[in-house]
Structure 1
Amino acid sequence: MRGRLGRECVYVPSCRFGLFVALRHWCPPGGRVLMSPVNDDVIFFVVLAAGLRPVQAPLNPLDASIDVDAVPDDMWGSLSAVLTTNLYGNPDDAPRLRQKCDELGIPLFEDGAHAIGTQVGGRPVGAWGDASVFSLSKHVGAKAGGFLSFADPGLREALEKTCEDLLLPGRPTAELAYTVRPYAEAAVRGLGLRRAAWATMRLLGLMEREEIRMPLRPEELARAVGAAPDLTAHDPWVRVDMHDYRLRSGPLRLGRIERKLDRLDGVLTACLAGTERLLSTPWARPHSRVGPVRAQPLFRVPLFVADRDAARAALARRGIVVGYLYDPPLDDYAGDGFTDPSPDPAGARWFARHALPVDPLRARQVVEALDESKARPAEVPGGLGPTRG
C-alpha cells in the first residue's frame, strides 16, 4: 500500500477503526466534519464517537460526491475537517477539496474503502488527504483489515501509539471463526441454504440490520454522544456487521489477508472490464449529463432504475444480492439532533432512492436480469444536477 499511494501506511484491523484514529488525532472534540449523507451509517457513528458533529454536504446526484460549489460559504467557515466517501469507487473532487481545506487550514480525510483502485486528478484516491483509510473487506475480499495512510511520515510513531492504546486483545475464538468462515459460507451457498441461514439468524436475534439502516436508538445514542470522544460507548453502533473491528489480528488472519491482497491487481482488472460493460447500458445514461465517463475499477457500479425494489427482486431471482445501499440519507435518518442537515438535500435523496449498486464482477448476469425484467432507467429531474456542470 505504501508503494501504491506513495505515502506512509499503518495496518489497522478495519477501516472504521483507522478513521476513528485519524479523527481523534487531527480534530478537536466538538469540531464539525463535512461528510456525505449517502454513506454507511457506521461511518456516521464513528464521527460521533470521535466527539465530532457530522455536517451533511450537498451532493452531485449522479455519483454522490460532495458538490463543492453548492456548500455555502458560512458552512465552510464553520468546519474543522472534510471527509470524502468516494462512494462505490467514484472519486470525490479531492483536488478542489484539498485546495479548499488548505485555504481554511483544516484537514482533509479520504475514506477509500470502496476506492482502492481509483484515481482522481492524476493521483490514487487516498493520496490527497492529510490521512486516508482503506478497507480490505471490499475489493480485496478479506472481510477484515485495513490501512491508515498519512501524508506526514513523521506522524507514524504517534499514530501507531494511538492504535496500540485503542486496540483490544485478539481472541482465539475470533481467529478460529475468521478462519472457518469462508468454508462455512461456501457450504451454505453450495447447499442452497442462504434463506434458511438468514431465517435462523433472525430467530436467534443475530440480525443487526432488518432494514438498510441499522436502528438509531436515539435515547441510547444521545447518552453515548454525551460521553464522546469514546469509542467504547459507541460500540453497539460502530461494531455492526464487524464485531472484530478493533481486535488485534492474529497470524491466521494476517496470513489470509496477505494472500488476498496479493491478488488485488487481478481483481481490479476484472472490475474495470465489468465497469466498462455496465457503463455502456441504458441504466447508466444519467452519467451522460456530465460528459463522458472514464471507467475505473469500481467496487460497485451505480445504475439508476425507476423502480429499485423491482430491480433488486429481479436480480435476487438470479442469486444476485444488492447490498451497499444507503437509503435514506443520513440527515433524514438521524435528524438534526445528531447532525447538521444538508443545505440542499435533493441530490442525495434522488441518488439514495434510485441508485442500484451492482457488482462489476457479475456484469453479464446483471445486464441479462435487468433486460429480462424490462427495468426502466430512472429519469433525472430537471434542475437536479451538479452545480459545476
Structure 2
Amino acid sequence: MRERLGRECVYVPSCRLAVYLALRRWCAPGGSVLMSPVNDDVMLFVVLAAGLRPVMAPVCPRDGNIDICAVPESTWRSVGAVLTTNVYGMPDDADELRTRCDRMGIPLLEDAAHAIGTTVGDRPIGTFGTAAAFSLGKHAGATGGGFLALEDPADRKALEHLRDELLAPRQLHRDLASALRPVARATVQRLHLVRPVWRTMRTLGLLERERFRMELQERCLRDGTGRSPNLGAFDRWVRVDLHGYRRAHGRVLQRTLRRRMSGLDADLSRRREGTRLLGGTIWAAAGVRDTVTEGVQDRHVPPLFRVPLMVRDRDKLVARLERCGVVIGYLYDPPLDDFAGPEFVEPSPAPEAARWFAAHALPVDPLLARRMMRLLQREAPQPADPFPGPALHDQAPRE
C-alpha cells in the first residue's frame, strides 16, 4: 500500500482503530469533527470514544457524501477536523475539502474503508488528507486488517506507539478462525446456504444488529460520553461486527491477509466491471450513473465497494431479496443525527437529503452484479422519485 499511495503506512488490525488513532493524534479532546450522517454507526462511536463531538454535515443527494457548499460558515469555524466517508467507494470532493481545511487550519482525515482503488482525477483517495484510514477487510475477501496512510512520515513512530498501547494480545485460535472465515463464507455462498445461515443466526440471537443500526443504549452511552478519550468505555459499540478490531495479528493471519491482498488488483477489476453494469441501470444513484458514464469515456470506471441503487419501498425489496438468499448490508438508515439525537451529535442544519438518500439506497455488491440484475429485473422495483428539495446550498443557512 505504501507503493500504491506513495505514503508511509502504519498497519493496524482494523480501519476503525486506524480512524481512532488519527482522531487521537490530530484532534484535541473536547473538540468536534465534521462528518457525513450517511455512515456506519461504528464511526459515530469511534468519534465519541476519542472524546470528540460529531457534527453532522449536509450531504449531496447524488452520493451521500458531504455537500461542502451547504455547510454553514459558522460550522467551518467551529470544527477541529473533517472526516470523510467516501460512502460505498464514491469519493468525497477531497481536493476541495483539503483546500477548505487548509484555509481553516484543521486536518482532513480520510475514511477510505470503501475506497481502495478509487481516484479523484489521477490521484488516489488516501493521498489528500493529513491521514487516511483503509480497511483490508472490505476487499479481496480478507477478513480484517487495515492501515493508516500518513502525509508526514515523521508521525509514524508516535502512531505506532499509541497503537501498541491499545492492542489486545493476539490469540492463535482467533487468528485461525479469522483465516478460515473467507473459506467458510465462500462455501456458504457456493452451496446457496446464505438464507438458512442468516435465519439461524437471527434465531440464535447471534446478529448484533436487529435493524440497520445497532441498539443505541442511551443510558450506557450517556455514562461513557465525556471529554476524555476512552476507547474501553465505548468497546461495546465499537466492536460490533468485528470483536477483534484491536487484537494484534499473529503470523498465521498476517500470511493469510498477504495472500488475500495479492488478489487486490483482480478484485478491483471485477468491481469495476460490476459497477459499470449496475451503474447503467435505471436504479443507479445519479452520482454513480454520471461517474460510470465519465469513466467509460476515460476507460476508468471506479471499483465501488457497493453500488447504491435508489429504489422505492427499499425495505420491502430487502426482505424479498433475503428470501432469495441475498442479504443486503451496509444500510445507513436512519442518518446518524436521527439515530443518536442532539444529546450525542450536532444535527445537520439541512437533514432532508441525508434522510432521502438513507431511505432509498440499496447498496449492491458489484461482484454479484449479474445475479442482482436478474433478481431486480424479476422483482421490478420502481426507481426512487428524485430528491424533492432544492439544491442543498440553497437550503442551508449561510452565516
Q: Shift in Å at residue 383 of structure 1?
A: 3.2
CA distance in 1 between counterparts of 2:339 and 2:162 reads 31
Distance change >3 Å, CA 111–CA 277, structure 1 → 2: same
- State the shift of 1:168 in Å: 1.0
Aligned-pair CA distance for 1:181 = 2.6
Q: Which amino acid aligns with 2:88?
A: Y
Question: What do the CA deviations read for 1:30-58 (whole angstroms, capped 9, x no partner)?
Answer: 11000010100001100000000000000
How far is the alpha carbon of 1:307 from its aligned partner?
A: 1.7
Instruction: State the alpha-carbon separation in 2 of the partners of residues 371 and 134 from structure 1.
Output: 34
CA contact (8 A) 1:62 1:385 kept: no
Provide the residue aligned with 2:105 in structure 1. 105
Q: TM-score, normalised by structure 2?
A: 0.92
Greater CA deviation, 276-285 or 178-187? 178-187
For residue 371 of structure 2, what is the aligned residue in structure 1?
A: 365
Residue in 2 that maps onto 1:306:
312
Structure 2 segments unaligned to the other structure (5+ residues): 296-300, 395-399
Counterpart residue type for residue 165 of structure 2? D
Contact preservation (8 Å) 2:62, 2:285:
no
Runs of 4+ in 1 over 6 A off after TM superposition: 288-291
Any residues of structure 2 matched to 1:277-356 within 5 Å, and which? 277-284=277-284, 286-287=286-287, 292-294=293-295, 295-356=301-362
Q: What secondary structure is seen at the aligned counterpart in 2 of 1:11?
A: strand
What is the CA–CA distance in structure 2 between the aligned matches of 1:92 and 1:39, rounded to whole Å? 13
Partner of 2:7: 7
Partner residue, 1:117: 117
Structure-1 separation of matches of 2:331 and 2:20: 22
Amino acid paired to 2:60: N
Instruction: Give distance in 1, aligned partners of 2:313 and 2:245.
Output: 35
Change in 2 beyond 3 A, CA 1:387/1:276: farther
SS in 2 for 1:297: coil
Residues paired across the two proteins, number: 388
Work out the CA distance in 1 between the residues paired with 2:167 and 2:159. 12
User: Once the two structures are superposed, what CA deviation does each residue of 1:262-309 show, in whole Å capped at 9, x if it has no partner?
Assistant: 100011111111111111111126349978553311011101111212
Separation in structure 1 between the aligned mates of residue 362 and residue 198 of structure 2, nearest angstrom: 22
Are 1:255 and 2:255 matched, yes or no?
A: yes
Unaligned runs of 5+ in 1: none
Deviation at 1:199, TM superposition (A): 4.4
> Paired residue for 1:36?
36
Are the structure 2 counterparts of residues 277 and 183 from structure 1 closer, same or farther at C-alpha, using a change threshold of 3 Å?
A: closer
- Letter of the structure 1 residue corresponding to residue 274 of structure 2: G
Q: How many Å separate the matches in 1 of 2:363 and 2:294?
A: 17
Contact 1:49 1:231 in 2 (8 A): yes
Q: 1:158-237 alignment to 2 at 5 Å?
A: 158-189=158-189, 193-226=193-226, 228-237=228-237
1:360 and 1:14 mapped to 2: Cα distance? Answer: 23
Match of 1:383 in 2: 389
Q: Distance in 2 between matches of 1:109 and 1:264?
A: 24
- Note the alpha carbon deviations across 1:347-383, whole angstroms, 9 max, x for none: 1000000011101111111111111112111111343
Q: Which residue of 1 aligns with 2:46?
A: 46
Structure 1 CA distance, aligned partners of 2:377 and 2:203? Answer: 36
TM superposition score normalised by structure 1: 0.95
Does the CA-based 8 Å contact 1:315-1:366 persist in structure 2? no
- Alpha carbons of structure 1 residues 59 and 228: separation in structure 2 relative to 1, 3 Å: same
Assess if the C-alpha contact under 8 Å between 1:25 and 1:159 holds in 2. yes
Structure 2 residue 76 is the aligned partner of structure 1 residue 70: no
> How far, CA to CA, are the matches of 2:77 and 2:190 in structure 1?
55
Asked if the contact 1:286/1:380 (under 8 Å) is kept, the reply is no
- How far apart in 1 are the matches of 2:195 and 2:250? 32
Q: 1:283 to 1:238 in 2, by over 3 A?
A: same
Cα pair 2:63 2:286 within 8 Å, conserved = no
Pair 148,298 (structure 1): closer, same or farther in 2 beyond 3 Å: same
Report Cα offsets for 1:3-43 as digits up to 9, x if no partner: 11111101100000111111001100011000010100001
SS of equivalent to 1:283: coil
Give the aligned residue type for 1:352. A
| Paired residues of 2:26 and 2:107 also in contact (CA < 8 A) | yes
Q: 2:267 is matched with which residue? A: 267
Task: Tell me how far apart the structure 2 counterparts of residues 104 and 189 of structure 1 sit (CA, whole Å).
Answer: 48
The residue matched to 2:232 in structure 1 has which SS?
coil
Distance 2:276 2:190 in 1: 30
CA distance in 2, matches of 1:135, 1:289: 25
Q: Distance in 2 between matches of 1:115 and 1:24?
A: 22
Distance 1:6 1:265 in 2: 17
